[in-house]
Amino acid sequence: MLKTFTRGGIHPPEEKLSAHTSIQSLPLPAIAIIPVAQHLGAPAKIEINKGDVVKTGQLIARGDGFVSANVHASVSGKVVKIEDVTDVSGYRKPAVIIEVSGDDWLESIIRNEYLDSEIKLTGEEILARITESGIVGLGGATFPSQVKMTIPRGKKVDCLVINGVECEPYLTADHRLMIEKGAEILVGIELLKRAMNVNVAHIGIENNKPDAIRLMHNLVMSHKGIEVHALKIKYPQGAEKQLIKAILNREVPSGGLPVDVGVVAFNVGTVFAIYEAIQKNKPLFERIVTVTGKSLRQPANYKVRIGTPVSLLIQCAGGLPDNTGKIICGGPMMGKTLINADVPIVKGSSGILIIPSGESNRKPVQPCVRCAKCVSVCPMGLEPYLLMPLSEQKIYDRLETEHVMDCMECGSCSYICPANRPLLDFIRLGKLQVGKIIRSRK
Amino acid sequence: MSILYTIVSLSLLGAVSALVLYFVAQKFKVFEDPRIDLVEAELPAANCGGCGYAGCRNLAETMVKAETLEGLYCPVGGNAVMARIAAVLGRDAVAREARIAVLRCNGTCEFRPRINQYDGVSSCAMVSALYGGETGCSYGCLGCGDCVAVCSFDALHMDPFTGLPVVDDMKCTACGSCVKTCPKNLFELRKRWKGEKKIYVACMNKDRGAIAGKNCKVACIGCSKCFKVCPHEAITINNYLAFIDSDKCKLCRKCVTECPTNSIIEFGFPIKKVISESSSLSTQLNQKEE
Amino acid sequence: MSNLLTVSPSPHVGTTQSVNKLMYGVVLSLVPAFLVSVYFFGAGALIVTLISIASCVVFESAIQRFILKSEVRISDGSAIVTGLLLAFNLPSNIPWWMIVIGALFAIGVGKMTYGGLGNNPFNPALVGRVFLLISFPVQMTSWPLPMVSRLQYTDATTGATPLGVLKEAVRNGETVTEVMKQLPDHMQLFLGQMGGSLGEVSAAALLLGFLWLLYKKIITWHIPVFIVTTVFVFTGILWMIDPSKNASPAFHILTGGVLLGAIYMATDLVTSPMTIPGMILFAIGIGVITVVIRVFGAYPEGVSFAILIMNAFVPLINKYLKPSRFGKEVKYV
């Protein structure tokens, strides 16, 4: 019996087109565009000037305040511009633009890829190095890792949960990372155990990655206190609340965080970045990105430098198909559509998905037939059929009592609705307004 | 015979109920200042919220309870209605200058090309929450008509050729609903002149001039030429964007001629400058006048 | 224009299911019952079904087009389902104009006055059926016998349904065991060889349809199973108390509209509760009221009224029986 979360969930077609394509390094771009706000929290403050020559791995912006993260140069070259650049949202945000020349790394970075499993630093040193290296959650949330690792007073953490689930269809970056760098990930887990002073870690992997499950299972045999759990294939198993429920049967309370039930969760990509930061002195400036889509000639997994324009990834994957309707950054359930391919890859970009124009348009909306499918699939136990009209009619106090703020915007309700109703759109709008009202009360 | 019983018993029931209701109504009567009804009768009963209160009755209650009418104003009724209310309540009348809603964007389909297409719920609030819009200017009108839907006076309509909402000056009461609704803050209540004359900067773009101009042909690029030429110090420039204060402006139109991108709109004047043959907003409106 | 990328909010994939597929799935599941009804009741069954479907569709499109002045949406199939289910609640010898009136009431009052698809609190087919029952009680309670008048329509030979016979007999003081000898045996009841409305007679055909609905994930099993179980248990208790006055539970389930109501009418998506506990409560309520009307009430059959009564409770059920939220209480194992 595979473990799973008990409430809701859907089974979209998995489409893991690139699951067996090993990671290739993407060639360097000619220009790298590095935004200073790639994470949740305050944007980093730029510390270099136009005209400076930077090395790969050099700090270019420092985190501003506690909930923030450092940003490092992912390439070497001259800073040609510091200006606002259009990002994923279509709005302009400040970024550092570097004209790439060569690939000159900081001397302190150990460039070889030999496995280094010796842990030489203390817990505090590990935390300091993670902060210094600009590590953020690479699963997509981009929450600064050092903030997550700082346990608030009065709370206790007894185990770590490592997220190797990758429940979004099409995405395979975490899968390939586990297969190719599984040992390194385990060292990263040991580093985290020391930094957070816990002895137990659980790795959750969805059952559609049997090779990764087998590999990780074999690797943990030589590690004490780490377990691998194969999980039932169901979206959104990779959401941290659902992951913790499936593995440990603990429910994070409404409005709370995993630390409230004694757990801190990390994505495998983040763990690998932590390994590199501690063992190789390498700050976060590259990540694995899946480039995929049924119309793409060569779906692949690339190791990409932050700041690379999406167009280069698409070019290496066989070029943009003529009938492209949407370019999505992320997976099909929660990803954001791009307005063009000039947008840069940032720390949270887990995948680029090409959707042909025939599948890009929404179907016509029909009246709600109260089939209750949305209620049965909601992993948080909410009632989307009710939240949508409340949001349309702007009845914000009732929206709040119906717990709209619990919604994690996974999209299961909109996915399953036979009447193609834009449930999640209205719920998101409602959350925005209710969030404003709640903040204005404080 | 049995019909008699029915008639008598039901009539008795009715009479008893009526008596009970009468006494209860008398005993639990809430005293309300009769002046509230009088004031409410003077108000236009639009319940638009333009006064800042919850409906016309709420405003009437507030006016009766307040000592002075200072700070209370019904924009729909205007000075005429406020004068009558002042007379009813025996207080000093308040008068304000008339205002009119103006859309500070002229980014039509011709001037501001689309760079992507949006597929989703057709609501400006929704689009604005998602991204910067279908054009390169993320400050401009999104064209989904949230303002049209919220106007209670039928004063806003979408123009299908320009993709922008048009204010019907005859119907607009400057209640402010469109101002509150527009997620891009494009509406402004400006001073209303005779003949509906208007001069305003039809742009809210705060990008650098080069970028603003690239995305829209009639964007304000913040070149400051209008600021330099204005004899009444009515123009300020902030964040590469000019703003004409309608209370200081004297309608001399020097700025309109100076503006290199034609982003300052003049309306209600005889045509002074030929801009372009086609769909410039002021040319269209002036043509409609003739 | 075709070179522009499309921007839309997530999710970017969706189910292949649609409202039309749900409705047509229901129509398909009713095909076995329809074939059986034609086999037993012949021409009348065909005529009643066709007139009912046609009237419902025509009335819905006319109301949408001329009164509501909105888009005509009969292609979603919901009017066809209402027409089919209304027909299945009628006797096969009912005059055509009564069917038309019933359809007008079902669609016009039962569905469109509330705002069309998705907004009606009561099952429209049952609203039409009950309206006809109250307006034309004689016509609506004379049931053609199976197999005998298959080529006739309004002049088919009629007789009482098994439930009707039972009610009369008990009222006259006969014991149940004596009455049972006059009625068809359990196998005949299961296959449908009895008097009754078009759709209710054949348990076998209805169960086939039920399996199809489950396979296509159009309904869940909870409402039909709990209605049938409640009826079974309640009548079982009564039967054990006094077998001379009460028929066996199996008899109660195989006769009358229990199966038709449980599988098709109570499970109507629009008028049934939104959560599993709500559905279970709804189903138990229907079962109890059905048996109460059958045993203690004046009518021999009570499913239609039971369902309509419970439909009225559905908003209350939805308000209080909400799904259990994730993280409501801290669960720390």
**Distance, CA of A209 to CA of A198 (rounded, Å):** 27
Is position A6 within any domain?
no
Give C2 to chain B, closest Cα distance, Å: 9
What are the φ and ψ backbone dihedral angles of A287, each rounded to 5 degrees? -155, 170
Nearest CA in chain C to A406: C326
Given a contact as 3+ CB pairs under 8 Å, which chains touch A? B, C
Residue A429 contacts C where some CB pair is shorter than 8 Å: no
The C residues from 116 to 145 touching A (CB cutoff 8 Å) are 116-119
Residue B140 contacts A where some CB pair is shorter than 8 Å: no
Is C44's pLDDT higher than 50?
A: yes
Quote the percentage of chain B above a pLDDT of 90: 66
- C-alpha distances in Å from residue C196, one per residue of A361, C158, C160, C200: 49, 10, 8, 7
**Distance, CA of B138 to CA of B216 (rounded, Å):** 11
Which residue did the predictor score with more confidence, B98 or C279? C279
Work out how many CB contacts closer than 8 A connect A with B. 36
Nearest CA in chain B to C4: B116
With an 8 Å Cβ cutoff, are C323 and A375 in contact? Answer: yes
**Which residues of chain B neighbour C8 with C-beta distances below 8 Å?**
118-120, 130
pLDDT digits (tens, 9 = 90+) for B183-202: 999 999 999 998 899 999 99
The A residues from 288 to 347 touching C (CB cutoff 8 Å) are 324-328, 330, 332-340
What pLDDT is recorded for position B285?
57
**Which residues of chain A neighbour B49 with C-beta distances below 8 Å?**
none
Give A381 to chain B, closest Cα distance, Å: 25
User: Please, are residues A19 and A175 in contact by the beta-carbon 8 Å criterion?
Assistant: yes
Is position A4 within any domain?
no
The domain ranges of chain C are 19-139, 159-320
Residue of C3, C4, C13 to mutate when probing chain A, most A C-beta within 10 A:
C13
Is the domain of A87 the same as that of A132? no
Q: Phi/psi zone of residue C192: left (φ > 0), alpha (ψ -120 to 50 degrees), beta?
A: left
- Shortest CA distance to C255 belongs to which of C174, C179, C148, C154? C179
Give A325 to chain C, closest Cα distance, Å: 5
Residue C113 contacts A where some CB pair is shorter than 8 Å: no
**Which residues of chain C neighbour B118 with C-beta distances below 8 Å?**
6-8
Work out how many CB contacts closer than 8 A connect A with C. 167
User: Please, are residues B123 and C2 in contact by the beta-carbon 8 Å criterion?
Assistant: no
Is the domain of A319 the same as that of A413? no
Chain A residues within 8 A (CB-CB) of chain B? 84, 86, 89-92, 339-340, 360-362, 422, 425-426, 428-429, 432
Query: Mean pLDDT throughout B247-262?
Result: 92
Is B281's pLDDT higher than 70?
A: no
Is position A22 within any domain?
no
Determine the structural domain holding residue A178 and report its residue range. 123-279
User: Please, are residues A134 and A284 in contact by the beta-carbon 8 Å criterion?
Assistant: yes
Is the domain of A213 the same as that of A255? yes
Is B89's pLDDT higher than 90?
A: no
ipTM: 0.91
Q: Which string of DSSP letters, residue by residue, matches A341-371?
A: TTPBP-TT--EEEEEEGGGSSPPPP------
With an 8 Å Cβ cutoff, are C270 and A12 in contact? Answer: no
**If pLDDT is split at 50, 70 and 90, which confidence band does B274 have?**
low
User: Please, are residues A379 and A418 in contact by the beta-carbon 8 Å criterion?
Assistant: no
Model confidence, pTM: 0.91
With an 8 Å Cβ cutoff, are C8 and B119 in contact? Answer: yes
Is C333's pLDDT higher than 70?
A: no
With an 8 Å Cβ cutoff, are A90 and B132 in contact? Answer: yes
Residue of B114, B115, B117, B121 to mutate when probing chain A, most A C-beta within 10 A:
B121
User: Please, are residues B81 and B93 in contact by the beta-carbon 8 Å criterion?
Assistant: no
How high is the mean pLDDT of chain B? 89
Out of A84, A86, A422, name the one closest to residue B121 (CB). A422
Is position A5 within any domain?
no
What pLDDT is recorded for position B31?
84
Is position A21 within any domain?
no
Is the domain of A345 the same as that of A257? no
| CATH, residue A340 | 3.10.20.600
Residue of B118, B124, B130, B206 to mutate when probing chain A, most A C-beta within 10 A:
B130
What pLDDT is recorded for position C149?
78
| CATH, residue A48 | 2.40.50
**Distance, CA of B233 to CA of B117 (rounded, Å):** 41
What pLDDT is recorded for position A412?
97
Give C216 to chain B, closest Cα distance, Å: 29
Write down how long chain C is: 333
Give C16 to chain A, closest Cα distance, Å: 8
Domain end point (choices A317, A334, A360): A360
User: Please, are residues B109 and B131 in contact by the beta-carbon 8 Å criterion?
Assistant: no
Out of A366, A383, A420, name the one closest to residue C14 (CB). A420
Q: Where are the alpha helices (DSSP H) in A80-232?
A: 123-132, 145-149, 173-196, 210-219
User: Please, are residues B257 and B140 in contact by the beta-carbon 8 Å criterion?
Assistant: no
**Which residues of chain B neighbour A334 with C-beta distances below 8 Å?**
none
**Which residues of chain C neighbour B114 with C-beta distances below 8 Å?**
4
Nearest CA in chain A to C14: A415
Give B97 to chain A, closest Cα distance, Å: 33
Is C327's pLDDT higher than 90?
A: no
Out of A254, A359, A425, name the one closest to residue C9 (CB). A425
How high is the mean pLDDT of chain C? 91
Is the domain of A298 the same as that of A418? no
Is position A388 within any domain?
yes
Chain B residues within 8 A (CB-CB) of chain C? 114-120, 126, 130-131, 134
Is the domain of A73 the same as that of A212? no
Is B290's pLDDT higher than 50?
A: no
- C-alpha distances in Å from residue A384, one per residue of A363, A395, C270, C272: 19, 14, 15, 17
With an 8 Å Cβ cutoff, are A428 and B119 in contact? Answer: no
Is the domain of A156 the same as that of A271? yes
What pLDDT is recorded for position B273?
58
Is the domain of A128 the same as that of A84? no
Is B283's pLDDT higher than 80?
A: no
- C-alpha distances in Å from residue A96, one per residue of A76, A339, B33, B164, C15: 12, 20, 66, 36, 41
β-pair partners for C191: none
What pLDDT is recorded for position A264?
97
Is the domain of A228 the same as that of A141? yes
β-pair partners for A351: A290
What pLDDT is recorded for position C1?
43
Quote the percentage of chain A above a pLDDT of 70: 100
Q: What is the pLDDT along chain A (442 residues), one digit of tens a residue?
A: 899 999 999 999 999 999 999 999 999 999 999 999 999 999 999 999 999 999 999 999 999 999 999 999 999 999 999 999 988 777 888 999 999 999 999 999 999 999 999 999 999 999 999 999 999 999 988 999 999 999 999 999 999 999 999 999 999 999 999 999 999 999 999 999 999 999 999 999 999 999 999 999 999 999 999 999 999 999 999 999 999 999 999 999 998 999 999 999 999 999 999 999 999 999 999 999 999 999 999 999 999 999 999 999 999 999 999 999 999 999 999 999 999 999 999 999 999 999 999 999 999 999 999 999 999 999 999 999 999 999 999 999 999 999 999 999 999 999 999 999 999 999 999 999 999 999 999 8
Is position A111 within any domain?
no
Domain total of chain A:
4
Out of C4, C6, C9, name the one closest to residue B130 (CB). C9
| CATH, residue A155 | 3.40.50.11540
Burial grade of C66 (CB within 10 A; 0-12, 13-18, 19 or more): exposed
Query: Mean pLDDT throughout C139-168?
Result: 84
With an 8 Å Cβ cutoff, are A425 and B125 in contact? Answer: no
What pLDDT is recorded for position C166?
84
Give A170 to chain C, closest Cα distance, Å: 12
**Distance, CA of B47 to CA of B51 (rounded, Å):** 9
Token pair recorded at residue C125: 């087919």
Which residue did the predictor score with more confidence, C189 or C84? C84
Is C332's pLDDT higher than 70?
A: no
